[in-house]
């Protein structure tokens, strides 16, 4: 049975906007925390309280095998209108999960993830300050 809260069902063909953060299918969490996304859920929002250097990444629950999905993500900062604007991108390599370290401005960010040619499986989105 398909998950009615899966991101491809809730947001067909477009990215969530700022007002979607915290709604079903788009969890909102603070920088320094993490969130687990069920299979098929492709978005999470991260609140950054003040400008800082940070690491954002994905942790696959598949155990680092060559058969796991090729995870990648784009990080977007929401602009003044609440629309996502891409600020970074990370892709995995065989046996590793994608991670991005960069300077973040204060604001809310969208993590937009996918997997090349496969379902994402259960994914943990993690964040930490550098």
Which pTM was predicted? Answer: 0.87
Q: For every one of its 130 residues, what pLDDT tens digit does the chain have, with 9 covering 90 and above? A: 355 555 555 555 689 999 999 999 999 999 999 999 998 889 999 999 999 999 999 988 765 556 667 889 999 999 999 999 999 999 887 667 899 999 999 999 999 998 877 778 889 999 999 7
CA angle 115, 21, 39 (to 5 degrees): 30
CATH number of this structure's domain 7-11+21-129, picked from the four choices 3.40.50.2300, 3.40.30.10, 3.40.50.300, 2.60.120.380: 2.60.120.380
CA angle 11, 61, 4 (to 5 degrees): 25
Supply φ then ψ for residue 93, to 5 degrees.
-120, 170
Sheet with strand 34-37: strands edge to edge: 34-37, 123-129, 52-60, 99-104
């Amino acid at each position: 049975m398909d998950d009615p809260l899966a991101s491809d069902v809730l947001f067909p063909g477009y990215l969530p906007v700022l007002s979607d953060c915290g709604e079903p299918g788009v969890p909102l969490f603070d920088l320094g925390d993490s969130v687990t996304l069920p299979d098929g859920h492709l978005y999470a929002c991260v609140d950054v309280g003040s400008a800082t250097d940070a690491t954002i990444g994905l942790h696959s629950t598949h155990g680092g095998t060559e058969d796991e999905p090729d995870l990648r993500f784009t990080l977007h900062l929401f602009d003044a209108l609440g629309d996502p604007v891409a600020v970074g991108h990370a892709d995995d390599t065989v046996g590793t999960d994608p991670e991005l370290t960069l300077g973040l401005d204060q604001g809310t960010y969208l993590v937009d993830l996918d997997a090349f040619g496969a379902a994402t499986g259960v994914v943990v989105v993690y964040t930490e300050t550098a």
